[in-house]
Structure 1
Amino acid sequence: MSEYNTTDFTNPSTFILQGIPGLEAAHVWISIPFCTMYVIAILGNFTILFTVKMEQSLHEPMYYFLCMLAVTDLVVHTSRLPKMLSIFWFNSREIDFSACLTQMYFIHCFLVIESGIFVAMAFDRYVAICDPLRHSTILTNSFVAMIGLAVMLRGSIVILPFPLLARQWPYCRTNVIPQPYCAHISVVNLACADTRVSSYYGLFVLFCVMNLDAAFIAVSYTQILRAIFSLPTKDARLKTLGTCSSHLFVILAFYIPGLFISLMYRFAQNVPLHFHVLIANVYLLMPPVLNPIIYGVRTKQIRDRLLRLFTHKGT
C-alpha cells in the first residue's frame, strides 16, 4: 500500500500520479521511447507548420487543416509528456488538484478538437473529389477559419463539464491516480460518491460526439470512394486514391484504438492495470508522431518543399 493512500481527507490539495503501476522499476527505461516520440512529434509538427507557412502553394484548405491538426497534436502532447517524464526521471509524482483538472481539460478538449479537425478534413476531401469545380468557392479562407473556430468552441464547451463535475466530488479514499497523467475516468474513479453522471457524460462524449464524427467521416469517405472508383481510367483512380490514403490511415489510427481503449477501460476489468495504462499512453503518443511523418511522406507538395529546403542547405 502506497504511503500516500489515506482515509481521513475529503478534497485533497494534491493528487499523486503513480506512473505505470507495477512497472515503477522500469520507469527510466519506459521514458526512453516516450521521450524519443515526444521529440519526434515536436520536430515533425513544427516542420509541417514551417513548411506550410513558407510554401505559398500550400496555402490551401487541406494544408490549413493540417496545420490545425499539428497545433492540436502539440498541445495534447505537451499537456502530458513533461509531467510524465518528470515522474519517470525525478519521481516527481505530486500534482496540484487544480493543475490536475486543468491537465484533464486540455487533454480531452484537444482530443475532441482533433476529432473535429478530421471531420473538416474529410469534408474538404469530399468537396475536392466529388464536387471539384465548387471547391474553391465553398472552402474559402474565411469559411475555413469559421470551421476552425467552430471546432475549437465545440471541444471547449463539450469537455467543460469534465473538470466542473470532478471538482464537485468528495475524494475521501485515496489521492493516488494509477496513471502518469490526469485522465478523466481515473480521477472520477477516486471519488467516494455516486459519480454516474460523470461516467454517463463521458460515454455521451465518446458515443454522441466522437462516434458521430466517425460516422460523418465514414459517410464522406464512402462517397469519396464511390467517386474515385467511377473515374474512367486506372491511373486517375490511383492518383486520386493516393491523395486520400494518408487522411484515411491517420483517421483510422485515431478512432479505432481510441474506441477500443475507452471500452476496454470501462468494461474489461480482468485486464492488468499496467496494460491498460501502457496501451492508453501509447495511443495518445502515436498520432502526434505518425501524423507529420505520414503527411510528410505521402503529400507530394510537402515532400518536395522539404527536399528543396535540405538541398539548398546542402549546397
Structure 2
Amino acid sequence: MTTQHNVTTSTEISHFLLNCFVRSPTWQLWLSLPLSLLFLLAMGANATLLVTIRMEASLHQPMYYLLSLLSVLDMVLCLTVSPKVLAIFWFDLRSISFSACFLQMYIMNSFLAMESCTFMVMAYDRYVAICHPLRYLSIINEQFVAKAVIFVLARNVLLTMPIPILSARLHYCRRNVIENCICANMSVSRLSCDDVTINRIYQFATGWAMLGFDLILIFLSYTLILRAVLRLKAEGAVAKALSTCGSHFILILFFSTILLVFVLTHVAKKKVCAEVPVLLNVLHHVIPAALNPIVYGVRTQEIKQGIQRLLRKGW
C-alpha cells in the first residue's frame, strides 16, 4: 500500500520550484545586474570569437578549432543557466517542469565535463607545440582535432548520462522545492523519498574521476612545458613560450580554483552562509564563459589582429 501511495503522489508532482534567494530579495536585486551583464558579455564575446575564427583563414588551425569548441560549450552552459536564473530574479518564474529540470541537470554535468576535457586537449596541444615543435604539424592536425572532439563528446555524454537518469527514476512524493537556483543533482535528489546513496556515489566517483584525470594531465603538461622552457637558451624564447601558453594556464587555473572553492564551501556548508554555495554554483557556469574569450582575445595576437580586421571590414 505504501509503495502505491508513493508512486501515486509522485505522479501528482509535475514540476519543481527553484528557491533561488527568495528569502533574500535584496540579493536577487543586486545579483541580477552583474549576472545579466556577465551573460551578455559571455554570449557576445564568444560569438565574436567564433565569427572571427570562422571568417579569418589564418585562424583555421587546430588550436583555434579547439578554442571554437570551448566557446560553443561556454555559450550552451550560459544559455542553460542564466536565462532561468534571471527569470526567477525578475519575474519570480520559479517553476520548472520535471523534463526541463533533468535536461538542465544533464547539460550542466556533461558540458562542464566537456569543458574540462577540452582544457586537457588544449594543454596537450601547447605541450607538443613547445616541447616537440618540429613534430607539431604532423601530430596536431585536423585529423587529431576531429578525434579529440569525438573523444570529448563521447566520454562525457556517456559517463554523465546516468546522473539525470538516476535522479529521474526516484519517487518525489513530498516536497518539490529545490533549495538552489539550478537543478543540481543532489539538490534535486534529496527531495526524493527513496535512498539516494547510489546517486551520491556515482556523481562523486565520475566527477572526481573525470575532472581529476583531466587536471592531473593538464598540470603534467604544463610541468613539462615549464621544464622545457627553462632550458631554452635563445634570447626572448622563454618569454614567447610562456606567453603562448599563458592564457591557457590562466583560464584552467581559474576554472579549477572556482570549482575547488565551490566544493569546499559545499563541504563546509554548516560553517558558511547557505546562500554562498548556491551563488558559486551559478557563477561557475557564467564567469569562466565570460572570461575565456576575453583572455584569449587580449593575450593571443592572432585573434586580436583577426578581430581588428573584421571590425575594419565592418566599417
Trace 1:1-315 onto structure 2 (pairs within 5 A): 9-11=9-11, 12-314=13-315
Aligned to 1:5: none
> Do the aligned residues in 2 keep the contact of 1:113 with 1:152 (CA within 8 Å)?
yes
- The Cα shift of 1:267 comes to 4.4
Normalised by the length of structure 1, the TM-score is: 0.93
> Do the aligned residues in 2 keep the contact of 1:130 with 1:227 (CA within 8 Å)?
yes
- The Cα shift of 1:26 comes to 3.7
Normalised by the length of structure 2, the TM-score is: 0.93
Mean Cα deviation higher: 266-275 or 108-117: 266-275
SS at match of 1:194: coil
> Do the aligned residues in 1 keep the contact of 2:38 with 2:290 (CA within 8 Å)?
yes
Identity among equivalent pairs (%): 39
Q: What value does the CA root-mean-square deviation take over the aligned residues?
A: 1.5
SS at match of 1:277: helix
In the alignment, residue 10 of structure 1 is paired with which amino acid?
A: S
Whole-angstrom CA distance in 2 between matches of 1:192 and 1:270: 27
SS at match of 1:271: coil
> Do the aligned residues in 1 keep the contact of 2:62 with 2:142 (CA within 8 Å)?
yes
Whole-angstrom CA distance in 1 between matches of 2:62 and 2:291: 21
User: In structure 2, do the counterparts of structure 1 residues 47 and 298 end up closer, same or farther at CA, with 3 Å as the change threshold?
Assistant: same
- The Cα shift of 1:271 comes to 1.7
Whole-angstrom CA distance in 1 between matches of 2:192 and 2:274: 19
> Do the aligned residues in 1 keep the contact of 2:62 with 2:145 (CA within 8 Å)?
yes
Aligned to 1:4: none
> Do the aligned residues in 1 keep the contact of 2:81 with 2:282 (CA within 8 Å)?
no
Whole-angstrom CA distance in 1 between matches of 2:201 and 2:260: 16
Mean Cα deviation higher: 17-26 or 126-135: 17-26
Whole-angstrom CA distance in 2 between matches of 1:161 and 1:42: 29
SS at match of 1:284: coil
Whole-angstrom CA distance in 2 between matches of 1:232 and 1:191: 62
User: In structure 2, do the counterparts of structure 1 residues 94 and 109 end up closer, same or farther at CA, with 3 Å as the change threshold?
Assistant: same
> Do the aligned residues in 1 keep the contact of 2:229 with 2:242 (CA within 8 Å)?
yes
- The Cα shift of 1:312 comes to 4.2
In the alignment, residue 251 of structure 1 is paired with which amino acid?
A: I
> Do the aligned residues in 2 keep the contact of 1:80 with 1:181 (CA within 8 Å)?
yes
CA deviations 1:15-70 (Å, max 9, x no partner) are 00111253234423321111111100011001110111111111111100000000
Structure 2 gaps of 5+ residues are: 1-7
CA deviations 1:76-104 (Å, max 9, x no partner) are 11011111111111111110011100010
Mean Cα deviation higher: 73-82 or 269-278: 269-278
Mean Cα deviation higher: 10-19 or 40-49: 10-19
Whole-angstrom CA distance in 1 between matches of 2:88 and 2:142: 43
- The Cα shift of 1:233 comes to 3.0
- The Cα shift of 1:164 comes to 0.7
Whole-angstrom CA distance in 2 between matches of 1:126 and 1:190: 45
> Do the aligned residues in 1 keep the contact of 2:182 with 2:282 (CA within 8 Å)?
no
- The Cα shift of 1:192 comes to 2.2
- The Cα shift of 1:9 comes to 3.6
In the alignment, residue 72 of structure 1 is paired with which amino acid?
A: L
Whole-angstrom CA distance in 2 between matches of 1:152 and 1:21: 36
SS at match of 1:10: helix
Aligned to 2:5: none
Structure 1 gaps of 5+ residues are: 1-7
